Amino acid sequence: MFKVLVMDGISDMGIQLLYDAPDVEVEKKNGLSEDELVAIIADYDALLVRSATKVTDRVMAAGSRLKVVGRAGVGVDNIDLAAATNRGIVVINAPDGNTIATCELTFAMMMSLARTIPQAYKKTIGGEWDRKTFVGVELRNKVLGVLGMGRIGSEVARRAKAFGMEVRGYDPFLTEDRAEKLGVKLGTVDEICRVADFITVHTPLTSETRHMISGPQFEIMKKGARIINCARGGIIDEMALVEAIDQGIVAGAAFDVFEQEPPRADHPFLNNPKIIVTPHLGASTVEAQENVAIDVSEEVLHILRDEPFKNAVNMPQVPANVLNTLQPYFGLGLKLGALLGQTIDGAVSEIVVSYSGELTGVDTAPLTRHIVKGVLEKQLEGVNIVNAMHLAKSREINIVVQQSTAAKTFTNLVSVTLKTKNEERLMAGTLLSGYGERIVQIDQYPVDIAPAGNLLLISHTDKPGIIGKVGTLLGTNDVNIATMQVGRKVIGGQAIMVLTTDKQTPTDVIAQLEQLPELTKVRELTL
């Protein structure tokens, strides 16, 4: 009999599956301190929480029977993932349960903006019958820009079509084929800002998406645009938005999230008549709260019964013999994927992973997950080595794994190829005795690079003096070169140089490099 401890007021309806399971005994407790939880957790095989309970290393150390911790929601900040992984405890969440709730809130915000409903309500209950001030706009025939076409963004796009809106979508992993299925026209962030009447964001908050819409985007934005953010605070530059509203560029905004929550009392959003705010209500529906509990209950049952499961947010157990062979390559695979993912433009349609040499003698699936995670993590929130394959599949990215016992130059070689509609890029690496992780090939060019720190990947024409020009320009701008690798196939043909630098290269310096006539492309790659 499995024992499951349910905390934080998770509803009985949401965990009915557990109650009905003949091999599960459910106990509910709320408001336990860490000491109280530590005192009893050894009796349980599974623990279900929301955000209130902190599942610390100390709690898990005491949970000698604990196999799984389930979070009835998306975020797992209250769970020590590293400790869970080290102890072989699976941590699962429910990323799909709040999709419809957040999508519908987005439309509530959009309608409120279009018809100034909260402002009109406030004035009406204050005793003023003012019809002239609140002349709104219709959604029909308007352009909706959706930045982030994952689960929620895709649902928003489908509903917008029913309102007669033209939908423009941006997502680094959205292919033209999938966009066509959704009835969405692809565009860049800037292209969407120029034409959209309404813009809604549905991306995770990462280093790539922080302030995705800021001063430069507001400068080119269609006058009278309206902005909605029901995703994460920080995707839109709040102060730049206020300035754009004051300048008459943006007609209004609706925010369910803030960069700092709760916002300070003097936050400019709170007293601006053109901005609608709510206190992070995206998942706050009866159905969403039940759905996330149901999803987690299903996964807990699968894990307890040793059945296949999904939505794990940490590393599953791998047989010891396989782990011993592959573990030295996990870091290399992650870096190969992360670096290669930064070299391409457009949506990835296929990831081809090739293993050569002794690596073909074991199940390389765990290593493949690390590589796919590296490719995806710059753009997607919550990617891990368990859900990376699932996320790739949900975005219709084809994963191809090839194996060959013959390795021409190296004992073991890991090669990764990314394919988009317009380009194909390759990067290969290995472990060298005494040197560790090395990148040994980029496209058709042999190199020898340690995958660490700040890298500049420069494609250029092989002519005398190019290296000097690049070095001089970087030196003039106080960017110190630590190492340099040059690769070419034919004298005077196309070539690459890879530089490691002591700090990130400023964007204006990269722009200056791109102006050199011999250089065809400059990419900064960071780990």
Question: Residues 131, 140, 261, 307: which is the catalytic one?
Answer: 261
Question: Do residues 159 and 107 lie in contact, with contact meaning Cβ atoms separated by under 8 Å?
Answer: yes
Question: Do residues 38 and 57 lie in contact, with contact meaning Cβ atoms separated by under 8 Å?
Answer: no
Nearest CA among 175, 182, 138 for reference residue 158: 182
Please check the confidence at residue 401 and state whether its pLDDT lies above 80. yes
Question: Would you give the DSSP letter of residue 236?
Answer: B
Question: Do residues 316 and 366 lie in contact, with contact meaning Cβ atoms separated by under 8 Å?
Answer: no
Question: Do residues 165 and 140 lie in contact, with contact meaning Cβ atoms separated by under 8 Å?
Answer: yes
Please check the confidence at residue 418 and state whether its pLDDT lies above 80. yes
Winning range, highest mean pLDDT, from 171-185, 191-205, 363-377, 464-478: 191-205
Please check the confidence at residue 382 and state whether its pLDDT lies above 80. no
Whether the bond into 506 is cis, omega within 30 of 0? no
Active-site residue flag, 238 = no
Nearest CA among 310, 312, 315 for reference residue 326: 315
Question: Residues 280, 302, 438, 523: which is the catalytic one?
Answer: 280
Find the radius of gyration of the CA atoms of the chain.
Answer: 26
Mean pLDDT of 175-180: 88
Q: Which residues 6+ apart lie within 8 Å of 511 measured at CB? A: none
pLDDT digits (tens, 9 = 90+) for 114-161: 999 999 999 999 999 999 999 999 999 999 999 999 889 999 999 999
Instruction: Classify residue 515 by burial, with Cβ atoms within 10 Å: 0-12, 13-18, 19+.
Output: exposed
Question: Do residues 181 and 126 lie in contact, with contact meaning Cβ atoms separated by under 8 Å?
Answer: no
Mean pLDDT of 83-103: 87
How far is residue 213 CA from its own chain's centroid?
17
* Residue 15, token pair as written in the block: 């965990």
Q: What is the pLDDT of residue 346?
A: 83
pTM for the full predicted model: 0.75
Whether the bond into 262 is cis, omega within 30 of 0? yes
- Sign of the CA dihedral with 404 first, then 409, 415, and 420 last: negative
Question: Residues 232, 369, 370, 460: which is the catalytic one?
Answer: 232
Active-site residue flag, 178 = no
Between CA 225 and CA 91 the distance in angstroms is 41
Which of the two residues, 307 and 271, has the higher pLDDT score? 271
The phi, psi pair for 243, rounded to 5°, reads -65, -40
Question: Do residues 80 and 44 lie in contact, with contact meaning Cβ atoms separated by under 8 Å?
Answer: no
Amino acid at 436: G
Please check the confidence at residue 317 and state whether its pLDDT lies above 90. no
Which run of H or of E encompasses 498? strand 494-501
Mean pLDDT of 100-109: 96
Q: What is the pLDDT of residue 3?
A: 97
Active-site residue flag, 261 = yes
Question: Do residues 499 and 484 lie in contact, with contact meaning Cβ atoms separated by under 8 Å?
Answer: yes
pLDDT digits (tens, 9 = 90+) for 279-305: 999 988 999 989 999 999 999 999 999
Mean pLDDT of 256-268: 94
* C-beta neighbour count of 502 within 10 angstroms: 11
Please check the confidence at residue 266 and state whether its pLDDT lies above 90. yes
Nearest CA among 105, 81, 104 for reference residue 93: 81
Between CA 291 and CA 298 the distance in angstroms is 11
User: What are the distances in angstroms from CA 374 to CA 67, 157, 389?
Assistant: 27, 28, 11
Residue 315's pLDDT band (boundaries 50, 70, 90)? low
Average pLDDT of the residues of the chain: 91
Burial state string for 60-78 with b = 16 or more CB within 10 A and e = fewer than 16: bebbeebbbbbbbbbebeb
pLDDT digits (tens, 9 = 90+) for 215-236: 999 999 999 999 999 999 999 9
Question: Do residues 257 and 275 lie in contact, with contact meaning Cβ atoms separated by under 8 Å?
Answer: no
Residue 255's pLDDT band (boundaries 50, 70, 90)? very high
Please check the confidence at residue 86 and state whether its pLDDT lies above 80. no
- Looking up tokens 């965990």 gives 15
Between CA 342 and CA 423 the distance in angstroms is 13
Please check the confidence at residue 22 and state whether its pLDDT lies above 90. yes
The length of the chain is 527
User: What are the distances in angstroms from CA 47 to CA 24, 61, 307?
Assistant: 12, 13, 18
Nearest CA among 283, 376, 316 for reference residue 95: 283
